[in-house]
A and B are shown apart, each in its own frame.
Chain A
C-alpha cells in the first residue's frame, strides 16, 4: 500500500515510516500541514496517517480540506489528546479511525491495514472467507454445508473478522467495533468470545482453526484454510 504520514515529530515519524516500510508499504512523510495537503491532493494514497496537532495548519483543518476536495482516502488520526470530545471531533471532521499516542506499533499496523482495504468490502452483505459464508442481512452463517448458530455478539465479532480477512485485528479494535468500548475494560471478554467462536466454527476434526492468534498483536481470520 502507498501511505502518507503527516507528522511533525521526527521520532514518531521515523518510527512509523520505518515500521510500515518493513511491512512492505511505500511510505511518504510530510513534516507539516502545508506539505501534507500538497502531497495528499497531488498523489493517490491508500491511507493517510495525520497527526492531530501540527504546527501551522492543524490536522483537523487538513482533513476537512481534503474531504472538502472530494478525496475519499481513508484517514487515521494520531493524537496525544485523549479528551472526551477529541475522538468525536476527529471522526466528525472526516477521519476514519483514531489512535492515541503512545501506541504499540502492532496496533498502528493493524489499523492501517484495516483502513486500506476497507472500501471494497464495506458495502457487501454477503461475505465469503475460505469455506465460511455469512449473509449479514439474513443473519446466517455457515461453514461448508454446515449452518452455525451464533449469539448476536458472536455474529458481530465474526462479521468484523470477515470484513478484514487475512488481516491482523487487535483486541482494542474488536472492543471498539464489536462492543463499542473505547477504553480497556481489563477483562478477557474478547478472548472468551474468540474461543467460543472458535469452538463453534471448528467442530469437526478435519476442519482447521480459522481464527489464529497473532502473538503480541491480535487475531487473524485465515483467508485460505491451512494445509494439513
Chain B
C-alpha cells in the first residue's frame, strides 16, 4: 500500500513537472556558477601571471647583461629577503640546481602551469605541506632553465569556496524541489484520489453520488479541480436524468401498451367465440375493432419512433422558410370541425406573413398537437384562443394557445412533456400521452421555448417562443438563397 502510494506520487503530472523545474533550475544554477567561477579565478590568475611576467622580464634582462651567473646572484639576493613573494629555481643544462628556493619537482615544465609542490610548513619546522604554485618555466638560451613559482593558495581557496557554495546551493535547491514536488503532488493526488473514489462508487451503481468539491457540488468558483468536479457533477445530473427518463419510458411503454394489447386479446377472443357460434356481423365487428386497436398501437409506436428521431437526429435537412401564419391557419381550419362538435369557440389573432426557418411538416404537427390538446381537454362550449405575435427585443415570433379548460396543476407542468405522462383527469380521454413529448422535441429542434402557464381566471396557456436568431437567419438573404 505504502509502496503503491509512492509509485502513484511519482507518476503524477505535478511531481514530474516539479522535478523538471528542479532540473531546469539546477541547470541554470550551474551556468551561473560557471560564469562566476571563470570570472573570479580568471582575474586572480591574470594577476598572478602579471607578477610572474614582470619578474621574468627583470631576470631576462640580467641574463642578457651578465649571463647565468648574474641571474643566479640576483636569485640568491631575492631569496635572502625575508618576505619575498616569489620562489625561484635555476637549473643548468645537466639538471643541476644552480640557485633558488623552489623545491625540484619532475612536473616542472617550460611555459605556464599549476603544480602542487611540497614545501616546509609555515607552522612547524619538520612538517611539509602541499601547496599549489603557479609556475612559469623559461629556457635561458642553451645554458639553463629558469622556473618562477608564485604561491597560488589564494586561488585554490577561491576555487574551493566557489565549488563549495555551488555544492551547497545546488544540494539545497534539489532537496527543496523534491520536497516541494512531493508536497504539491500529494495535495493534487489527494484531490484526484477523492474524485476517483467517488467515480468508482458511481460506476458501481451509486448514481446519486457526486464528486467532492471544496466549494459546493455545482459551484464553478473554486480552483481548477473544483470547476472540473462541478462540471462533471452537472454532467452526472444530466446523465442521471436521462437514465431515469429511459427507465421511466421503458416502464411506461410496457405499462401503456399492455392495456391496448389486453383489449385486443379480448376482442380477438370474442371474435373467435362469435365465429364458432355464427359467422356473421358480430365476428366482423370484432375484427374491425381489433384492427382499430392494432392501428392505434402502431400509431403509438410511430409517434415514439418519430420523437426519438427528432431528438436524436437534430436534422435540419427539411429546414426552409416556413410561413407560420399559413401553417397556423391551416391547422385551425383542420381542427375547426372538432371544436364545432364540442360547441367550443375557436378564435384567432393571426397576422399574415410571419416566417420562421423550420421543417414545415414538423411545425404543422407540433401546432396541431397543441390545438388538439386544447380542444380535447377543454369542456364543451369552452373558448380557445390562438394568437401569433411578432417578436420583440431578443425574442422571435410567439404563438399563444389559451383555453379556459381545467388547466394543468403547476407542479405537473414540467412532467407533461414526458412520454406517456398523463394527468389523472385526462386518463379517460383518448390519446397516447405522446403529444406534448413530440411538441417538446420539435420545439427543441427549432430552438424554440415552450412555456405552460395559467390562463386566469382558469385554464391553460401554452406559449411557444421562437428564438430571435432563427428569425434573423430566415430574414437573411443567405438563408433564403440556401433554401430556394
Contacts and interface: CB of A to CB of B under 8 A. Distances in A.
Nearest to A186: B372
A84 B312 CA distance: 12
Nearest to B303: A183
Contacts of A192: 337, 340
Contacts of B368: 181, 183, 185
Contacts of A153: 333
Nearest to A183: B365
Interface size class of A (residues with CB under 8 A): 20 to 34
Given A185-B335, A187-B338, A189-B334, A88 B317 contact: yes
Nearest to A102: B298
Interface on chain A toward B: helix, strand, loop, or mixed SS? loop
Interface on chain B toward A: helix, strand, loop, or mixed SS? helix
B416 interface: no
Interface in B318-333: 318, 330, 333
A83 B318 CA distance: 11
B337 A82 contact: no
Contacts of A87: 361
Given A180-B364, A185-B368, A85 B330 contact: no
Interface residues of B, number: 31
Interface of A: 82-85, 87-88, 100, 102, 104, 153, 179-189, 191-193, 216
B281 to A, nearest CB: 13
Contacts of A216: 288
A180 B302 contact: no
14 contacts: A82-B305, A82-B309, A83-B315, A85-B315, A85-B318, A179-B330, A179-B333, A182-B364, A184-B299, A185-B334, A187-B335, A189-B335, A189-B337, A189-B338
B309 A181 contact: no
Given A186-B372, A187-B372, A84 B330 contact: no
B337 A84 contact: no
Contacts of A100: 302
A179 B334 contact: yes
B306 interface: yes
B433 to A, nearest CB: 14
Interface of B: 288, 295, 298-299, 302, 305-306, 309-310, 313, 315, 317-318, 330, 333-338, 340-341, 359-362, 364-365, 368, 372, 430
A84 B309 contact: yes
Contacts of B333: 153, 179, 189
A191 B305 CA distance: 28
Contacts of A83: 309, 313, 315
B330 A180 contact: yes
B313 A181 contact: no
A181 B306 contact: no
A193 B364 CA distance: 20
Nearest first, the 4 closest Cβ-Cβ pairs linking A and B are: A192-B337, A187-B338, A85-B317, A189-B334
Contacts of A104: 295
Contacts of B305: 82
A52 to B, nearest CB: 15
B338 A84 contact: no
Contacts of B341: 188
A102 B362 CA distance: 21
Contacts of B309: 82-84
Contacts of B330: 179-180
A93 to B, nearest CB: 14
Contacts of A88: 317-318
Nearest to A152: B333
A84 B299 contact: no
Nearest to B327: A180
A84 B335 contact: no
Contacts of B359: 84
B334 A84 contact: no
Nearest to B430: A186
A188 to B, nearest CB: 5
Contacts of B430: 186
A87 B302 CA distance: 15
Contacts of B318: 84-85, 88
A102 B430 CA distance: 22
A101 B341 CA distance: 32
Nearest to B442: A84
A28 B364 CA distance: 38
Contacts of A185: 334-335, 368, 372
Contacts of A191: 337
